[in-house]
Amino acid sequence: MSDDRSAPYAPASFRASDPPPARPRRPIARRLLGWIGKALLGFVIVTVLWVLLYRFVPPPITLTMAGDMLGGHSVTKKWMPLSDIDPDMPRAAIAGEDGRFCTHHGFDFSAMANAAYRNAQGGRIRGGSTISQQTAKNAFLFQGGGYVRKALEAYFTVLIEALWGKRRIMEVYLNIAETGIGTYGVEAGSIRYFGHGAARLSPSEAGRIAAILPLPKKRAAKAPKGFTRRHGNTIARRVGVVRNDRLDGCLG
């Protein structure tokens, strides 16, 4: 009887000629979470780079402008550095839209609460959005929408506050805000309504432009009437307060 000790017996599960056992597949839930995580990471990277680009480059077009074009309207706009815009224009924007612009970090919660309280009382609907929030919406998003758009607006508001700073936020706001049907920015709006550029706006003219910013398609700065005229005059008077109280100090 032969005793071959040179070739010991190997169980079938350990034979070298057999393929390695298949790796167990991850559960569908784990794979789905992985895909979602990668999508979110990609979204963050793309949006941060987008916001960083607009810190140095004027936004070439917005979704609101694109909507005007698709609706058959021409778009008139002309970028103007904040240093060339009459200082009374950003002061008027602060007076009319966001008195705490230089002190908040993108959100004015007291203004939101006050707007909600007044809206609950009835009458004219008021908004509590800051200039930072409006800039985020105008530059990166679309008008209207529900909670998803509001959530994205808050996200982009945090980004521009962190990556741009107040001066750039105001500069972009005054250049892409709608100032009339098919008209964007205070330079184009000033030429449209007053026949001259935004470099030499009077407090009254700046106040009128600021008064139409919330509803530019329904209000006009030239020969305004009713609420628009009263509101514009009120803003014009507040321009001096903004200047004297240094409420525009973050723009210096």
CATH class for domain 58-251?
A: mainly alpha
Query: Residues 207, 239: contact at Cβ < 8 Å?
Result: yes
- Calpha distance 233→226 (Å, rounded): 11
Low-confidence ranges of the chain (pLDDT < 70): 1-26, 117, 119-127
Which pLDDT belongs to residue 7?
52
Strand order in the sheet with 76-77: 76-77, 183-184, 178-180
For the chain, first and last CA: distance in Å?
Answer: 103
Which value, to the nearest 10 degrees, does the dihedral of the CA atoms of residues 232, 234, 236, 239 take? -130
What residues contact residue 242 under an 8 Å CB cut-off, 6+ apart? Answer: 91, 92, 94, 95, 99, 248
Rg (CA), the chain: 28
Which pLDDT belongs to residue 159?
98
In degrees and rounded to multiples of 5, residue 35 shows phi and psi of -65, -45
CA 12 remoteness from chain centre: 65
pTM equals: 0.84
Which pLDDT belongs to residue 146?
86
List the Cα angle 147/97/153 in 5-degree steps: 25
Helical H segments across 71-128, by residue range: 88-97, 109-120
Return the exposure string of 36-58: e unless at least 16 CB atoms fall within 10 Å of the residue's CB, then b: eeeeeeeeeeeeeeebeebeeee
The string of pLDDT tens digits covering residues 31-75 is: 888 899 999 999 999 999 999 999 999 999 999 999 999 988 899
Which pLDDT belongs to residue 5?
54
- Calpha distance 125→132 (Å, rounded): 20
- Calpha distance 35→77 (Å, rounded): 41
Which pLDDT belongs to residue 205?
96
Residue 81's closest CA among 45, 105, 57? 57
